[in-house]
Structures are given as C-alpha cells and as structure tokens.
C-alpha cells in the first residue's frame, strides 16, 4: 500500500517539478522515496502492536506526508535551507536506525547511538522541520491542514510507540531514562 501511495505521490511531484523547475518538489520526492525504501527493507520485529487504533495512527502519520501539494513553490528565505538541513539530519537518523525503521509500534531492537543519543524520535523531529520548510515553500491552505495532521499524528504515534516499548522492553526503559527528550533536546 505504501509503495502504491509513493508511486502516485512521485508521479504528481515529478509533474509539478516539470512545470515549475523549483527544487522544493524534488526534495520532497527524495524524502518520500527514502522513507518508502526503508519501509520496504525493514527487518521483522521481535514484537509488534496489534492495536487497530495504533495501526491507524501510524498509517495516517506516514501517508499524510504524501498529501502535500504544490503551491507557489517559493523556495526563498529559510524554506530551502531548512528542508536541506532537515533532509541531511533525517538521513543521519535513518542511517543510525538502519533496517529497524517501521511504521507501527514494534520492537526491532533499541537504537541509542548517533542522533538517538540526543532525542528518542529524531526522524519525527526531522519530518516536522522538513514539513515546516515545505509549507514555507508551498504555502497553501491544504498544505497547512496536512502539516497540522502530520504534527498531531506524529506526536500521537510517538506516544503509542513509547507506551509499547516502555511496557515491553527493559532496555528501552533504561534508554528513555538516559535520553529524556522525545523530539527537541531539553524541551519536549
């Protein structure tokens, strides 16, 4: 299902890029393609959530990022640098996570190195930074609604993951005590 959504999103994003030649759609395409590839190459979990509610939130938070559309594609000011920096940080976070990437709450092994020493959900933090940049570059009402859906669903998704892992894994309990922030060091 994710691959099908990716294909539709990639087609629309490439079409937009052909019309505008702006870098913003290409950066979005790279981000979504990377996430899709990671999902397809993930390792099987030791344990995964069976909660329908948690699955729905995970799917919504994953697929909502594919709903961004073009706009004026104004990549001036902070939009493009913010997207580039967040894409780099996301890549570093993804590499640290490796094949442990997943969508629903699951235990594929605890990762505590690299950016995971600073916050427990660095990829989600990077999603939000990237999406802020995208919204700045394509400021439409629809993109604003998508952004709100992404932020809220990522927060709820992270809370479900935390609950799942804290309940099931003493190693994650120790990690959460050591790395106190979920998204922003010292704040949240």
Per-position DSSP letters for 50-63, written without gaps between them: --HHHHHHHHHHHH
Residues 101-136: pLDDT tens digits?
Answer: 888 999 988 999 999 999 999 999 999 999 999 898
Per-residue pLDDT, 74: 62
Per-residue pLDDT, 173: 96
Q: pLDDT band at residue 55, thresholds of 50, 70 and 90?
A: very high
Query: Please, are residues 145 and 80 in contact by the beta-carbon 8 Å criterion?
Result: no
Q: Report the pLDDT averaged over residues 39-57.
A: 89
Per-residue pLDDT, 126: 94
Helix (H) or strand (E) holding 76: none
Backbone dihedral region for residue 17 (phi beyond 0: left; psi -120 to 50: alpha; all else: beta): alpha
Listed in sequence order, the residues at least 6 apart from 105 whose beta carbon sits closer than 8 Å to its beta carbon are 48, 49, 51, 54, 58, 157, 160, 161, 163, 164, 165
Report how far apart, in Å, the C-alpha atoms of 109 and of each of 99, 118, 120, 121, 172 are. Answer: 10, 18, 13, 14, 9
The highest-level CATH class for domain 2-178 is mainly alpha
Query: Please, are residues 29 and 87 in contact by the beta-carbon 8 Å criterion?
Result: no
Q: Report the pLDDT averaged over residues 24-44.
A: 79
Q: pLDDT band at residue 179, thresholds of 50, 70 and 90?
A: very high
Residue 76 has pLDDT above 70, yes or no: no
């Amino acid at each position: 299902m994710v691959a099908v959504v990716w294909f539709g999103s990639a087609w629309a994003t490439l079409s937009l890029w052909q019309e505008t030649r702006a870098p913003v759609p290409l950066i979005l395409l790279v981000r979504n393609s990377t996430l899709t590839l990671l999902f397809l190459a993930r390792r099987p979990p030791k344990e995964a959530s069976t909660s329908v509610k948690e699955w729905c939130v995970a799917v919504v938070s994953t697929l909502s990022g594919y709903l961004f559309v073009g706009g004026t594609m104004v990549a001036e000011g902070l939009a493009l640098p913010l997207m580039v920096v967040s894409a780099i940080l996301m890549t570093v976070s993804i590499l640290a996570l490796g094949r442990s990437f997943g969508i629903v709450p699951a235990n594929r092994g605890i990762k505590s190195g690299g950016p995971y020493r600073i916050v427990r959900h660095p990829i989600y933090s990077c999603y939000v930074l990237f999406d802020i940049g995208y919204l700045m570059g394509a400021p439409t009402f629809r993109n604003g609604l998508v952004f709100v859906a992404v932020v809220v669903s990522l927060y709820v998704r992270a809370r479900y993951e935390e609950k799942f892992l804290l309940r099931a894994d003493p190693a994650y309990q120790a990690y959460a005590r050591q790395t106190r922030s979920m998204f922003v060091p010292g704040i949240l």
